[in-house]
């Protein structure tokens, strides 16, 4: 291979695999990690997947599909430990390890050839060490850029290795269904199907103008580039975000506040700060906690847990207002309010099915645009209309 040699390594059913190494008796059974009652499935064994259980599916649905599946409560600390140990192994072969999430990394193997031998052997050896030293199965792909490497590791799953040399890229990609393409979620797949495009090859051969009409100029062009196996992205040596316990913001009023309208407005401001911090850390969270401190310094907190994790201002704001309303405070003198989001997860573990191309995700894009403007011009550059009123 000439040019870049990029590997993508992804642990198979990561949370479940960590659980199975301490409960080997569950090996081969349908097992999933997730909340037992109101939660969602976070990770499912391949036997559970064969019964229709998927990540992000409500646990109730999983139980209905497969009543004999074994549900395990998540143990995030154990997973973070396992993840660190795996990254320590990856670090032994190259300086350029880009953590995409706790269980997934890109590695630049371009320069390891002279020192360590053929990249495919380096990668096979890494997988053997991760299994031998950590008891964790993984899959890996090798290609001339990050996109092809990621697609290869996906197709290699579970417990496989797929090498795609540069001259084989289109032979590999084009027969695959469009909905298997990285970044293509349900909505984009639907639009592509409506355009009569079934395979990545169909997509690669479509006139850019057609796609730009359906997805906008930037996304349309990106779809064609990726479908042709072209990806100019350079890896960055970085860790996956450490799992913080919670992210939030609080504010003390200059004078004690009676008026619920002012509290609502402050909650919007705090929700904006909190969601911007979540997105910067690439985290999403499920538990939203409202805290209030009163003029007499007494305080209280109320929490609720969402069915799906979020990093969106409006969702966080709406829930915080709901918690506040439920308290039925009439004339309480509020001194301080705070919002925290807990139950944090890496955003990329949630958005594996995320749709990067669909314009319907306008709200998320708008939110990202506000984040960018705030970074460039300071936190008050762009605000939602209800915050720009005087009060
Ligand atoms: Mg994985």
Contact 53, 69 (CB under 8 A): yes
Q: Examine the domain organization and report whether 251 and 375 are in the same domain.
A: yes
Q: Is the pTM of this model over 0.85?
A: no
**Which structural domain, as residue segments, surrounds residue 196?**
174-227
Q: What's the distance, CA 185 to chain centroid?
A: 13
pLDDT at res. 381: 44
Residue from 25, 77, 81, 104 carrying the catalytic annotation: 104
- What distance in angstroms lies between residue 384's CA and the mean position of ligand 1's atoms? 37
Residue 139, domain member (yes or no)? yes
- The answer to whether the CB of 319 falls within 8 A of the CB of 339 is no
**Which of 72-81, 108-117, 126-135, 333-342 shows the highest mean pLDDT?**
126-135
Same domain, 14 and 43: yes
Residues 4 and 78 in one domain: yes
Whether residue 297 is found in the same domain as residue 382: yes
Question: How many residues are listed for the chain in this entry?
Answer: 391
Cα of 8 vs centre of ligand 1, distance in Å, is: 11
Question: 25 with 157, same domain?
Answer: yes
User: Tens digits of per-residue pLDDT, 124-138?
Assistant: 999 999 999 999 999
Residues 93 and 201 in one domain: no
CATH number of the domain bearing residue 373: 3.30.1490.100
pLDDT for res 75: 84
Residue range 282-302: mean pLDDT, rounded: 88
Count how many Cα atoms sit within 13 Å of the Cα of residue 38 in the half-sphere of its side chain: 8
pLDDT at residue 364 tops 60? no
Of the pLDDT bands very low, low, confident and very high (cuts 50, 70, 90), residue 36 is low
Domain count, the chain: 3
Considering the domain architecture, whether residues 130 and 213 belong to the same structural domain is answered as no
Domain boundary among 148, 165, 182: 165
**Does residue 232 belong to any structural domain of this protein?**
no
String of DSSP letters for 25-75: GGTTS-EEEE-SSS-BEEEE-HHHHHTT--TTSBHHHHHHH-TTPEEE---
pLDDT top residue among 281 and 270: 270
φ and ψ of 290, to 5 deg: -105, 130
The model's confidence at residue 255, banded by pLDDT at 50, 70 and 90, is confident
Q: What is the mean pLDDT of residues 284-288?
A: 91
The residue with tokens 């027969």 is: 175
Domain boundary residue among 165, 189, 219? Answer: 165
Distance CA 8, CA 275 (A): 29
DSSP conformation class of 101: E
Place of tokens 């969702």: 315
CATH number for the domain spanning 201: value is 1.10.150.20
Q: Within the chain, where are the H helices?
A: 14-22, 46-50, 59-65, 76-90, 113-116, 119-134, 146-156, 169-173, 186-194, 200-204, 208-215, 217-227, 260-280, 313-327, 347-350, 362-377, 385-388
* Distance from the alpha carbon of residue 11 to the mean position of ligand 1, in angstroms: 4
Q: Are residues 40 and 15 in the same domain?
A: yes
What gap in Å lies between CA 83 and CA 67, rounded to an integer? 30
Residue 351 predicted with pLDDT over 60: no
How confident is the model at residue 391, as a pLDDT? 33
pLDDT tier for residue 319 given thresholds of 50, 70 and 90? very high
Give a yes or no: residue 233 inside a domain. no
157/197 same-domain check: no
- pLDDT for 299 equals 83
* pLDDT level of residue 356 (50, 70, 90 thresholds): low
pLDDT of 38 reads 57
Please tell me the predicted confidence (pLDDT) of residue 380.
46
CATH code: domain of residue 114: 3.30.70.270
Q: Are residues 107 and 222 in the same domain?
A: no
C-alpha span between 382 and 367 (Å, rounded): 10
Computed over every residue of the chain, the mean pLDDT equals 85
Structure-model confidence comparison of residues 117 and 143, the more confident one: 143
242 belongs to the catalytic site: no
Contacts made by residues 90-93, CB under 8 angstroms, sequence distance 24+: 90/9, 90/126, 93/122, 93/126
CB-CB neighbours of 314 under 10 Å: 15
> Are residues 50 and 98 located together in one domain of the fold?
yes
**Residue % of the chain over a pLDDT of 90:** 55
d(CA 264, CA 266): 5
What is the predicted pLDDT for the residue at 37?
A: 53
Binding-site residue ranges for Mg(2+): 10, 103
How do residues 208-226 score in pLDDT, each as one tens digit?
899 999 988 888 888 999 9
For position 259, what pLDDT does the model report? 87
Residue 347's CB is within 10 A of a number of other CB atoms, namely: 20
pLDDT the model gives residue 345 = 81
For residue 357, the model assigns a pLDDT of 60
Residue environment code for 156-185, b if the CB has 16+ CB neighbours within 10 A, otherwise e: bbeebbbbbbbeebbebbbebebbebebbb
Residue 29 is predicted with a pLDDT of 96
Domain boundary among 145, 165, 185: 165
Instruction: Please tell me whether the peptide bond between 263 and the residue prior to it is cis, using omega within 30 degrees of 0.
Output: no
Same domain, 28 and 155: yes
pLDDT at 58: 86
Residue 238 located in a structural domain: no
Cα–chain-centroid distance for residue 106?
A: 15
Q: Is the peptide bond before 262 cis (omega within 30 degrees of 0)?
A: no
Predicted pLDDT of residue 377: 46
Q: Is residue 125 part of a domain?
A: yes
Predicted pLDDT of residue 383: 46
Residue 367 pLDDT:
58
pLDDT of residue 160: 96
**Confidence class for position 200, pLDDT limits 50, 70, 90:** very high
Q: Per-residue pLDDT tens for 332-342? A: 889 889 999 98
Q: How far is the CA of 245 from the centre of ligand 1 (A)?
A: 22
153 Cα to the center of ligand 1, angstroms: 10
158 CA to centre of ligand 1 in angstroms: 10
């Amino acid at each position: 291979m000439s040019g870049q040699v990029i590997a993508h390594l992804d642990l198979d059913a990561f949370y479940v695999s960590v659980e199975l190494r301490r409960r080997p008796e569950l090996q081969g059974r349908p097992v999933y990690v997730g909340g037992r009652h109101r939660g969602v499935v976070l990770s499912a064994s391949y036997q559970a997947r064969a019964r229709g259980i998927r990540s992000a599916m409500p646990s109730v649905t999983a139980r209905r599909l497969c009543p004999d599946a074994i549900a395990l409560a998540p143990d995030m600390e154990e997973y973070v430990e396992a993840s660190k140990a795996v990254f320590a192994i990856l670090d032994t072969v190259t300086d350029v390890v880009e953590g995409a999430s706790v269980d997934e990394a890109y590695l630049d193997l371009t320069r390891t050839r002279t020192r360590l031998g053929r990249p495919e052997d380096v990668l096979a050896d890494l997988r053997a060490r991760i299994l031998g030293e950590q008891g964790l199965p993984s899959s890996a792909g090798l290609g001339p850029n990050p996109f092809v490497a990621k697609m290869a590791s996906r197709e290699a799953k579970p417990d496989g290795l797929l090498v795609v040399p540069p001259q084989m890229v289109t032979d590999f990609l084009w027969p695959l269904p469009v909905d298997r393409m990285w970044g293509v979620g349900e909505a984009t797949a639907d639009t592509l199907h409506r355009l009569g495009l079934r395979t990545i090859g169909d997509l690669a051969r479509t006139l850019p103008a057609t796609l730009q009409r359906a997805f906008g100029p930037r996304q349309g062009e990106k779809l064609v580039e990726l479908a042709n196996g072209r990806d100019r992205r350079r890896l960055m040596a970085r860790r996956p975000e450490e799992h913080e316990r919670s992210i939030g913001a609080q504010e003390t009023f200059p004078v004690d506040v009676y008026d619920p309208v002012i509290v609502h407005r402050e909650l919007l401001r705090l929700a904006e700060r909190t969601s911007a911090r979540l997105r910067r850390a690439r985290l999403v969270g499920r538990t939203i906690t409202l805290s209030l401190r009163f003029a007499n310094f007494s305080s209280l907190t109320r929490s609720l847990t969402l069915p799906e994790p979020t990093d969106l201002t409006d969702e966080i704001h709406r829930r915080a207002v709901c918690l506040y309303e439920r308290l039925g405070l009439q004339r309480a003198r509020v001194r301080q309010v705070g919002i925290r989001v807990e139950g944090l997860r890496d955003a990329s573990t949630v958005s594996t099915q995320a749709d990067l191309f669909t314009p319907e995700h306008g709200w998320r894009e708008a939110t990202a645009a506000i984040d960018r403007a705030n970074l460039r011009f300071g936190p008050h550059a762009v605000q939602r209309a209800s915050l720009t009123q005087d009060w």
